[in-house]
């Protein structure tokens, strides 16, 4: 696995025992998690525009986040957020545009009408891109993810004045790279597949991105990405092997040697597995708050596929975003979309 080389020294993340910085004192602060792909977008933009002295990084430990962050900074209690001019803004795609438009430094969006139009088209597609990649993990990942990578390969051929999505490095590359980076690592290490094979433009894109300190300083340890992927997506699959039984013609040895009650033990056994998983389930729900909770929450429910879910009466989570509608009494009988990030 490729290493990250020499990395910049970053301040330790703030925890529940950390005091807040002097809030709203005129200092511009970018609240991030080092491992969050959404926060990584804004971090890259800040670095590329040469704003390290203008925008202070405030890393948050999302597993032990300080109460003051929600109470005094950002009620959404997720990252990224930007404290600027007495207000706090959020949402990564909005923030990279805000940083580009409101701070000095190299522009990150072209003025050329054709590039601008194509750039907006690509940005509007980025959530679909990441969603399709995560959905691919439920089946033949290499085959099912291929169209998403082909989309990038084709997009990279639109302009010939540089190796990036709009020719020159831009907000569009920043929008895509945190997720493309993670999937390149996972496909190489877990599926032993090089996503750049047969995609020369994509290969060059990665090579050129890795020449930019603004990006490489934000990269996550590849092993951390792989470990978390295995934990989240390969957890129960590695622990349970399915042995299907024909209940209309069940074998005699099943009653004699396996289960004297001679009935399908799925509910009991799977129920025990679910109970043993519930603490991780709850932690992952809280962890989803670091990004867009509506998007990030869905892979957590992947475990509950084909199981009817009745949310407690105190819960009433509703969103029309991307057609999602989670309400009391919802039955999740179909596979949910997987649209979250690994980290």
- Is 17 within a domain? no
- Tally of domains in the chain: 3
- Among 222, 245, 279, give the residue marking a domain's end: 222
Q: Tell me which residue of 284, 271, 281 sits closest to 240, measured CA to CA.
A: 271
* 180 in the same domain as 96: no
> Of 47, 78, 102, which marks where a domain is finished?
102
Question: Would 9 be classed as within a structural domain?
Answer: no
Domain residue limits at 292: 234-332
The burial class, CB within 10 Å (0-12 / 13-18 / 19+), for 2 is: exposed
CATH of the domain at 162: 1.20.1050.10
**pLDDT tens digits, the chain, 343 residues: what are they?**
655 544 567 889 999 999 999 999 999 999 999 999 999 999 999 999 999 999 999 999 999 999 999 999 999 999 999 999 999 999 999 999 999 999 999 999 999 999 999 999 999 999 999 999 998 988 899 999 999 999 999 999 999 999 999 999 999 999 999 999 999 999 999 999 999 999 999 999 999 999 999 999 999 999 999 988 888 777 555 555 667 788 788 888 888 888 887 665 555 555 666 677 676 667 666 666 655 555 556 555 555 544 443 333 222 333 333 333 333 333 333 333 333 344 4
Q: What are the CA-CA distances from residue 217 to residues 24, 260, 290 (Å)?
A: 27, 60, 20
> Are residue 87 and residue 152 in the same domain, yes or no?
no
Asked whether the whole model's pTM tops 0.75, one would answer no
């Amino acid at each position: 696995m490729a290493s990250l080389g020499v990395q910049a020294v970053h301040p330790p993340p703030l925890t529940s025992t950390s005091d807040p910085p002097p809030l709203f004192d005129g200092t511009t602060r970018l609240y991030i998690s080092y491992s969050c792909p959404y926060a990584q977008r804004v971090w890259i933009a800040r670095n590329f525009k040469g704003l390290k002295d203008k925008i202070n990084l405030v890393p948050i430990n999302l597993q032990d986040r300080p109460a003051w962050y929600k109470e005094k900074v950002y009620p959404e209690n997720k990252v990224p957020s930007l404290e600027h001019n007495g207000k706090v803004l959020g949402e990564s795609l909005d923030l990279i545009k805000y940083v580009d438009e409101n701070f000095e430094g190299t522009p990150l969006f072209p003025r050329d009408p054709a590039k601008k139009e194509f750039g907006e088209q690509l940005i509007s597609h980025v959530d679909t891109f990441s969603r399709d990649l995560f959905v691919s993990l439920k089946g033949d990942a290499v085959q099912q993810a291929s169209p998403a990578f082909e989309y990038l390969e084709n997009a990279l051929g639109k302009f010939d004045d540089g190796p990036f999505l709009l020719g020159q490095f831009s907000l569009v590359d920043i929008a895509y790279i945190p997720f493309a980076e993670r999937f390149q690592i996972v496909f190489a290490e877990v599926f032993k597949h090089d996503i750049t094979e047969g995609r020369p433009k994509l290969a060059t894109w990665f090579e050129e991105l890795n020449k930019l300190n603004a990006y490489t300083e934000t990269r996550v340890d590849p092993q951390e990405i792989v470990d978390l992927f295995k934990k989240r997506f390969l957890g129960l699959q590695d622990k349970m092997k399915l042995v299907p039984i024909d209940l209309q013609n069940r074998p005699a040895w099943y009653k004699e040697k396996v289960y004297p009650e001679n009935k399908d033990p799925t509910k009991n056994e799977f129920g025990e597995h679910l109970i043993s998983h519930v603490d991780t389930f709850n932690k992952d729900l809280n962890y989803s708050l670091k990004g867009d909770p509506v998007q990030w929450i869905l892979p957590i429910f992947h475990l509950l596929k084909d199981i009817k879910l009745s949310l407690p009466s105190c819960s009433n989570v509703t969103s029309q975003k991307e057609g999602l509608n989670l309400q009391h009494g919802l039955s999740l009988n179909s596979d949910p979309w997987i649209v979250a990030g690994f980290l």
